[in-house]
Structure 1
Amino acid sequence: MNDFLLIFRRDAGFDAQLTPEQMQAITKPWQDWMGGLAAQNKLANSGARLAIDGKIVKPGNVITNGPYVEVKEAVGGFIIIRAASLEEAAELSKNCPILSTGGNVEVRQIVPMQ
């Protein structure tokens, strides 16, 4: 088995537009999907949601605010799953709830450091 990072992207500021009731309604499908991955022993790390604001560190010790407001799509969170191949990891991602709200999932194999 290999580990794969699933990176969840959607429109920047999507969460800020939701009411508490809407946020609660979209949480249940995430719990169900991730619970299903865990039941299959495919969930290696439960990941996390990411805050809207952040900092960008650039060469020369330059630190700026980010992500930038003109960016349409932002990383909203991630998890790590276990799968036999990139194809299997992508198949497991097809039921991700972010897809039903206009987002997407980037699937990347984690290569251990030698």
Structure 2
Amino acid sequence: MPAGLSVFDDKGNSRLCSSNFIFNEIGTFVAQHGLPQEITDDRIIGKRIACFIKSVEQIQDGAYISYAYPNGISIDNNKIQWSYNGNFSYDKRAGLSESYKIYRVIYSYGWY
């Protein structure tokens, strides 16, 4: 059975189509502000690596939304690293400091 991945922008234009190559998932990592911002995996050495968002999970409930996506992911030798600009993105109403919904992003990485 043929398999593939297609990604489209908000206008329906194809941005990525992987139906002409096979993605071999090696593992996953969690990008969450405050956790380590790199993983080491010797299985990625010498391979063409791709990272995709696998899922976004809410880990804390609250009245307001707090989320952070890495502003960059880099791959060097056997390390995958990501960084943040130092700030969360907040949906916050002025003067209120109640609890926030907090999300983490789970990435899949592998070679193709």
Instruction: Calculate the TM-score normalised by the size of structure 2.
Output: 0.29
Instruction: Calculate the TM-score normalised by the size of structure 1.
Output: 0.28
Instruction: Give the number of the structure whose residues are more often helix, by fraction.
Output: 1
Bigger RCO (CA 8 Å, 6+ sep): 1
The higher radius of gyration belongs to 2
